[in-house]
Amino acid sequence: MSSTTSATPAGATHGTTTVVTNIATLVTNDPSLGDGSPLGLIHDAAVVIDGDRVAWTGESSKAPATDNRVDAGGRAVIPGFVDSHSHLVFAGDRTEEFNARMSGRAYSAGGIRTTVAATRAATDAELEATLTRYLAEALRQGTTTLETKSGYGLTVEDESRALRIAAAHTDEVTYLGAHIVPPDHAEDPAAYVALVTGEMLDACAPYARWIDVFCEKGAFDGDQARAILTAGRARGLHPRVHANQLTYGPGVQLAVELDAASADHCTHLTDQDVDALANSSTVATLLPGAEFSTRAEWPDARRLLDAGVTVALSTDCNPGSSFTSSVPFCIALAVRDMRMTPDEALWSATAGGARALRRDDVGRLSPGAYADLAVLDAPSHVHLAYRPGVPLVSEVWRRGRRAA
Ligand SMILES: [Zn+2]
């Protein structure tokens, strides 16, 4: 043994330390830091990364010594986006459906069947190639945590393989066997619910963290949704709900009743629905890409925020109703058309997404969090809405390493 080998400090495992300095505006999402706002904004800031975690954040002039130094060049740094709602295990193409809809045809849940047929016919390798393509696309746009779902298989074999493929690429995997009643069960929806809560659940639970239901007219009603979510919970899966997207309905109340992490869409809400969300730990996840792509009425984000509801913003990336992986695009829509402030939209797309996944190790840049961050080619996060459609994400770091 050489006596000249330097000793590793005792205690927690540490990696190489790196300071990212000369940050014009840093969003920490820690209100105890910086300006004391919910975004915890620090100007002329630095972030110290130790291994895969954030070790320190503060003013550049006060940064501790590190092994490496990276100059952000006066750009803004934000937490990597936490996209808590996507459907990326799919095959097939629905360009023509979008084209027809933009020519005046109304959206109906039935369009999902097109993707189900193509997904069942695809090989594992084809599904995995599509998933990884869109994960990489999302990463380049600043998304460092991404949830995705099954829901285009709707058989025991096809749902479980979708989740197995998803679980190889993300920790946030959701079993959505209850996306629609498939055509082969159209005459007997009760038998399909029995399958989703029985044999299919058994096959899928090992690969998933969450269980979800599309609670909507034409999909699953409140009683069916309760039965499905309750069965999932008994198998250790946590509920989340596609709720109140196309019409008023029981989805939001059910999500709150079952302490779901998130009620997603929330486009058609009664005052009672808003009150229930405000008095719960269920996040309202808004998905403006869906309203954009179906030319539908926007969810009323202002009403939810003013009532004290925790709001997340996510893409709903899927081939039918919202084929965007761009969180910056959703932020721009939320600010322009849903009356969120630029600060609120940024928070909802980062810390809000983390809340919707019940995570506290992502969605913030303060000590202990994963070093997941996006560097913007702009002096502040406000530019994400101020310069819509412009690819401002110039660098992405995930788990302490440059990833895009
Ligand atoms: Zn969805």
Provide the pLDDT for residue 10.
Answer: 38
- CB-based contacts of 370, cutoff 8 Å, min separation 6: 52, 53, 54, 144, 361, 362, 398, 399, 400
212 backbone dihedrals φ, ψ, rounded to 5°: -135, 155
DSSP-derived secondary structure for 191-214: HHHHHHHTHHHHHHGGG-SEEEEE
Q: Write out the two tokens for 184.
A: 């082969």
Judge whether 85 is annotated as a binding position: yes
Do the strands 262-265 and 283-286 form a parallel or antiparallel pair, or are they unpaired?
parallel
Q: Ion ligand 1 — residues with CB under 5 Å? A: 316
> Which residues lie across from 370 on neighbouring strands?
53
Residue 201 C-alpha to ligand 1 middle, in angstroms?
Answer: 19
Its CATH architecture, for the domain 17-80+363-402, is: Roll (2.30)
Residue 30 C-alpha to ligand 1 middle, in angstroms?
Answer: 29
pTM: 0.94
Judge whether 94 is annotated as a binding position: yes
Residue 316 C-alpha to ligand 1 middle, in angstroms?
Answer: 5
- CB-based contacts of 172, cutoff 8 Å, min separation 6: 84, 145, 146, 147, 148, 209, 210, 357
Provide the pLDDT for residue 112.
Answer: 87
- CB-based contacts of 76, cutoff 8 Å, min separation 6: 23, 24, 25, 26, 27, 375, 376, 378, 379, 380, 381, 383
Task: Cite the residue boundaries of each domain of the chain with CATH code 2.30.40.10.
Answer: 17-80+363-402
User: How far is C-alpha 214 from the chain's CA centre?
Assistant: 17
Judge whether 370 is annotated as a binding position: no
Judge whether 242 is annotated as a binding position: yes
User: How far is C-alpha 136 from the chain's CA centre?
Assistant: 15
Do the strands 173-178 and 148-149 form a parallel or antiparallel pair, or are they unpaired?
parallel
Q: What is the pLDDT along the chain (404 residues), one digit of tens a residue?
A: 333 333 334 334 567 999 999 999 999 999 999 999 999 999 999 999 999 999 999 999 999 999 999 999 999 999 999 999 999 999 999 998 898 889 987 655 458 888 999 999 999 999 999 999 999 999 999 999 999 999 999 999 999 999 999 999 999 999 999 999 999 999 999 999 999 999 999 999 999 999 999 999 999 999 999 999 999 999 999 999 999 999 999 999 999 999 999 999 999 999 999 999 999 999 999 999 999 999 999 999 999 999 999 999 999 999 999 999 999 999 999 999 999 999 999 999 999 999 999 999 999 999 999 999 999 999 999 999 999 999 999 999 999 999 99
76: helix, strand or coil: strand
Its CATH class, for the domain covering 82-356, is: alpha beta
> Which residues lie across from 58 on neighbouring strands?
46
Task: Cite the residue boundaries of each domain of the chain with CATH code 3.20.20.140.
Answer: 82-356
